[in-house]
């Protein structure tokens, strides 16, 4: 079978941009395809639906088709075929040219075309991974009306903008069991992400079983680590979904957990214990001993059997040289060899480490601190401190990926991350060609297995669209429209972001009050990354942990404020503002029964002020009156006290809608 571009199948396509053309029916596909035309047709779905793979097939493709059919079946409520046939006239036809890479690869061809007519849905792809991507789009075309279920008529020609679309998951600071990793992989596949960057070692934990050096996991993990069989299983699970697994073993810093079992690797004598606090710690590997490199060579040789991807993340960030500077032996060694400072010593370490990786057929990836004079060629630079590392790396002819704008743990909104492009301004065409893509980061200081899904999803869907879709796809309201729908769809593959708050509140609040606490959380966001004052042993079970990083309420209120001329919209918006004024009394009265209510009181008092100003502003709009100067002064002062501020551990939602109303009154 030959892969046929969509241009040869349909005469007209629509280039994705900020919203669809007026004549094209709306869609809910996320990420937005490279080219999409909605035809208005409907492929009706009923118990007669058949599925076929008439061309190439293998175990991975059959499994992907079966997973998609089972998801569709669950939505429809009746059984669909258990086995895909070969009849090219079936209702849903998946035609694939060949396997692609046996191990997911940076060079994988992920293109696909998808056409849906009144008679048939046809998915074509050059590789199995391309078909996996197209199946996700097909499921997103599912819709319902009064006549039942159908697939939206469409013609899609799709391919990713970037080949590296990653998510870092830090399991070293807080352990995440295999089930969490697997449901994260399922969510990633739904979002067309293709790299799991697995951060496996830190000062707070060493999370991989080593049979050659068992003291690493036995003494450095609190018993929380992945066995080698579990790692093989997870890597295979990822492979089945077209996702690469890039392990990170951070070195020479962030390595305290290594030294608990192997203090001889450290630059100062032990003993060492697992770090329980957050931050950048002093313990560092000794780059001057040959035994360090012999150990790493043997360890990496063992790990490459578990992680088949050619890329290998060495970390390399935030190295504190205190142990190096205070060691007379290390200083003498450096002086003898003309190594001027700590940066040069780390580069020497990386030169030796790169040689080891080359012997094991691995290409290094490192954080932007490794980009120092003398760094050997070949490393992919991951720019996290800004865009400067990416610009510098590509100016030197090095490949790079961008992470700086996409730190999920910093509690940025989906919109903030969505509008940040992996290609910064000012790059030449040659530099832009060296940018492999982007990677969001879910660092583990403030997430547990109970809360990680709510910090990943649904915001990661917006980031995934930035990595996949054309750069011109930047319509934030439309992104949030589709995000709300796909956030719910995502739950069918495992992520628990919709239910985690309910479970957490049940632990600390009376059952009869939980609905009202959930209402309060619609107007609350967690504070930013820094300053929580916790450590690895702290239970992360406060209201901040139950709160959503980017509640959809913010977008609803802004939309309602924009339509406040309409009485029905104004009435709905006013109901929100009046609700805001009730929470301070609610939580004050709840304190005797629920001490955790104290977490809510500072924000509840701020929301009371915000709700009052919003209610008064709507009153003036309804009456057609203009407030006096004193009212404007008080309203502006209230907004400034509240907007973007932190109250306890929470931040308010809704200030922007009130500010919009005030601006509207000012202009009247």
DSSP per position, 63-95: HHHHHHHHHHHHHHTS---SS-B--TTSSEEEE
Please state, as a whole number, how many other Cβ atoms lie within 10 Å of the Cβ of residue 422.
Answer: 27
Residues with a known catalytic role: 318
Look up residue 365 and give its two tokens: 């990836």
By three-state DSSP, how is residue 380 classified? Answer: strand
Prediction pTM value: 0.95
Q: Which residue has the tokens 């480490």?
A: 353
Assess whether pLDDT exceeds 50 at residue 583: yes
Q: How far apart are the C-alpha atoms of 384 and 593, rounded to whole Å?
A: 45
Structural element, H or E, at residue 190: helix 178-190
**Centroid of chain to Cα 645:** 25
Q: Which residue has the tokens 């079970």?
A: 541
Among 510, 491, 508, 507, smallest CA distance to 499 is for 491
Look up residue 476 and give its two tokens: 């934030």
pLDDT of residue 247: 98
pLDDT of residue 20: 29
Residues 6+ apart with CB under 8 A from 582: none
Q: Where in the chain are the domains?
A: 6-158, 164-459, 500-667
Tell me if 183 sits within 8 A of 493, measured CB to CB: yes
State yes or no: cis peptide before 480, omega within 30 of 0.
no
CATH homologous superfamily, domain 6-158:
Chitobiase/beta-hexosaminidase domain 2-like (3.30.379.10)
Assess whether pLDDT exceeds 60 at residue 19: no
**Centroid of chain to Cα 9:** 35
Q: Which residue has the tokens 């951060």?
A: 199
Q: How far apart are the C-alpha atoms of 248 and 579, rounded to whole Å?
A: 47
Angle between helices 601-623 and 655-667 (to 10 degrees): 30
pLDDT of residue 528: 87
> What is the per-residue pLDDT across 367-380, written as a single tens digit (0 to 9) for each?
999 999 999 999 99
Q: Using 50, 70 and 90 to split pLDDT, how confident is the model at 7?
A: very low
Among 304, 199, 194, smallest CA distance to 238 is for 194
Q: Which residue has the tokens 């547990």?
A: 448
pLDDT of residue 437: 98
Q: Mean pLDDT throughout 156-176?
A: 98
Assess whether pLDDT exceeds 90 at residue 1: no
Alpha-carbon distances of 409 from 458, 479, 536, rounded to whole Å: 13, 21, 16
Q: Which residue has the tokens 């709300």?
A: 484
Structural element, H or E, at residue 612: helix 601-623
Q: How far apart are the C-alpha atoms of 573 and 570, rounded to whole Å?
A: 5
Q: How far apart are the C-alpha atoms of 660 and 668, rounded to whole Å?
A: 13
pLDDT of residue 15: 31
Contacts 24+ apart (CB under 8 A), 74-82: 74/492, 75/142, 75/149, 75/492, 76/45, 76/149, 78/46, 78/47, 79/47, 80/49, 80/51, 81/49, 81/50, 81/51
pLDDT of residue 532: 82
Instruction: Please count the residues of the chain.
Output: 668
Look up residue 603 and give its two tokens: 């924000």
In the chain, what percentage of residues exceed pLDDT 90?
95
Assess whether pLDDT exceeds 70 at residue 2: no
Assess whether pLDDT exceeds 70 at residue 13: no
- The pLDDT mean for the chain works out to 95
Q: Mean pLDDT throughout 488-506?
A: 96
> What is the per-residue pLDDT across 460-493, written as a single tens digit (0 to 9) for each?
999 999 999 999 999 999 999 999 999 999 999 9
Look up residue 217 and give its two tokens: 């996991």
Among 109, 143, 139, smallest CA distance to 121 is for 139
Question: Which CATH architecture fits 164-459?
Answer: Alpha-Beta Barrel (3.20)
Assess whether pLDDT exceeds 90 at residue 14: no
Look up residue 658 and give its two tokens: 């009130």
pLDDT of residue 25: 59
Q: What are the respective helix, strand and coil percentages of the chain, to the nearest 5?
A: 45, 15, 40
Q: How far apart are the C-alpha atoms of 613 and 665, rounded to whole Å?
A: 12
363-367 and 205-206: which strand pairing?
unpaired
> What is the per-residue pLDDT across 222-250, written as a single tens digit (0 to 9) for each?
999 999 999 999 999 999 999 999 999 99
Q: Which residue has the tokens 């960057």?
A: 197
Tell me if 242 sits within 8 A of 134, measured CB to CB: no
Q: How far apart are the C-alpha atoms of 237 and 5, rounded to whole Å?
A: 30
Query: Which of residues 14 and 171 earns the better pLDDT score?
Result: 171
> What is the per-residue pLDDT across 254-304, written as a single tens digit (0 to 9) for each?
999 999 999 999 999 999 999 999 999 999 999 999 999 999 999 999 999
Distance, first Cα to last Cα, the chain:
65
């Amino acid at each position: 079978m030959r892969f046929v571009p969509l241009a040869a199948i349909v005469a007209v396509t629509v280039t994705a941009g900020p919203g669809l053309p007026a004549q094209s029916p709306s869609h809910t596909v996320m990420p937005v395809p490279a080219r999409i035309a909605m035809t208005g047709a409907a492929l009706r779905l009923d118990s007669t639906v058949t599925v076929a793979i008439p061309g190439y097939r293998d175990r991975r493709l059959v499994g992907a088709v079966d997973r998609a059919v089972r998801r569709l079946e669950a939505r429809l409520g009746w059984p669909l075929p258990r086995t895909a046939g070969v009849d090219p006239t079936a209702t849903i036809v998946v035609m694939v040219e060949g396997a692609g890479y046996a191990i997911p690869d940076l060079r994988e061809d992920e293109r696909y075309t998808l056409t849906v007519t009144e008679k048939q849905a046809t998915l074509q792809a050059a590789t199995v991974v391309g078909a996996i991507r197209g199946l996700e789009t097909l499921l997103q075309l599912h819709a319902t009306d009064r006549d039942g279920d159908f697939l939206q008529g469409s013609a899609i020609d799709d391919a990713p903008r970037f080949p590296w679309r990653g998510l870092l998951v830090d399991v070293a600071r807080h352990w995440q069991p295999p089930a969490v990793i697997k449901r994260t992989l399922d969510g990633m596949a739904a979002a067309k992400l293709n790299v799991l960057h697995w951060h496996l070692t830190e000062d707070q934990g060493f999370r991989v079983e080593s049979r050659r050096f068992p003291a690493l996991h036995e003494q450095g993990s609190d018993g929380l680590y992945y066995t080698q069989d579990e790692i093989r299983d997870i890597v295979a699970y990822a492979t089945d979904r077209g996702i690469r697994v890039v392990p990170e073993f951070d070195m020479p810093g962030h390595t305290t957990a290594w030294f608990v079992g192997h203090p001889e690797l450290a630059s100062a004598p032990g003993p060492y214990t697992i770090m329980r606090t957050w931050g950048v710690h002093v313990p560092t590997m000794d780059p001057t001993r040959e035994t360090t490199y012999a150990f790493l060579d043997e360890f990496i040789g063992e790990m490459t059997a578990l992680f088949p991807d050619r890329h290998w993340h060495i970390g390399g960030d935030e190295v504190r040289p205190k142990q190096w500077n205070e060691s007379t032996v290390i200083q003498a060694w450096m002086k003898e060899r003309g190594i001027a400072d700590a940066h040069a010593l780390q580069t020497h370490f990386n030169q030796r480490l790169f040689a080891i990786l080359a012997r094991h057929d691995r290409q290094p990836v490192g954080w932007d601190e490794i980009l120092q004079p003398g760094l050997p060629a070949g490393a992919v630079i991951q720019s996290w401190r800004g865009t400067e590392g990416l610009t510098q790396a590509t100016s030197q002819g090095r490949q790079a990926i961008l992470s700086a704008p996409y730190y999920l743990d910093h509690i940025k909104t989906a919109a903030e991350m969505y509008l940040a492009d992996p290609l910064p301004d000012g790059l030449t065409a040659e530099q832009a060609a060296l940018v492999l893509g982007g990677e969001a980061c879910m660092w583990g200081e403030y997430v547990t297995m109970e809360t990680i899904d709510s910090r990943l999803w649904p915001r990661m869907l917006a980031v995934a669209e930035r990595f996949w879709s054309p750069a011109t796809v930047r319509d934030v309201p439309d992104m949030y429209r589709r995000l709300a729908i796909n956030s719910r769809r995502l739950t069918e593959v495992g992520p628990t972001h919709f239910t985690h708050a309910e479970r957490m509140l049940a632990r600390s609040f009376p059952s009869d009050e939980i609905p009202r606490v959930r209402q309060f959380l619609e107007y609350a966001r967690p504070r930013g990354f820094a300053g929580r004052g916790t450590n690895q042993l702290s239970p992360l079970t406060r209201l901040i942990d139950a709160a959503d990083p980017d509640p959809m309420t913010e977008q609803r209120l802004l939309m309602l404020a924009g339509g406040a001329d309409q009485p029905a919209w104004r009435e709905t918006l006013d109901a929100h503002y009046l609700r805001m004024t009730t929470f301070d009394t609610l939580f004050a009265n709840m304190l005797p029964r629920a001490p955790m209510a104290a977490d809510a009181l500072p924000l509840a008092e701020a929301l009371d002020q915000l709700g009052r100003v919003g209610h008064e502003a709507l009153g003036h709009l309804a009456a057609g009156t203009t407030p006096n100067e004193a009212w404007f002064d008080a309203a502006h002062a209230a907004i400034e006290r509240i907007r973007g501020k932190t109250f306890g551990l929470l931040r308010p939602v809704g200030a922007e809608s009130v500010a919009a109303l005030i601006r509207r009154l000012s202009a009247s």
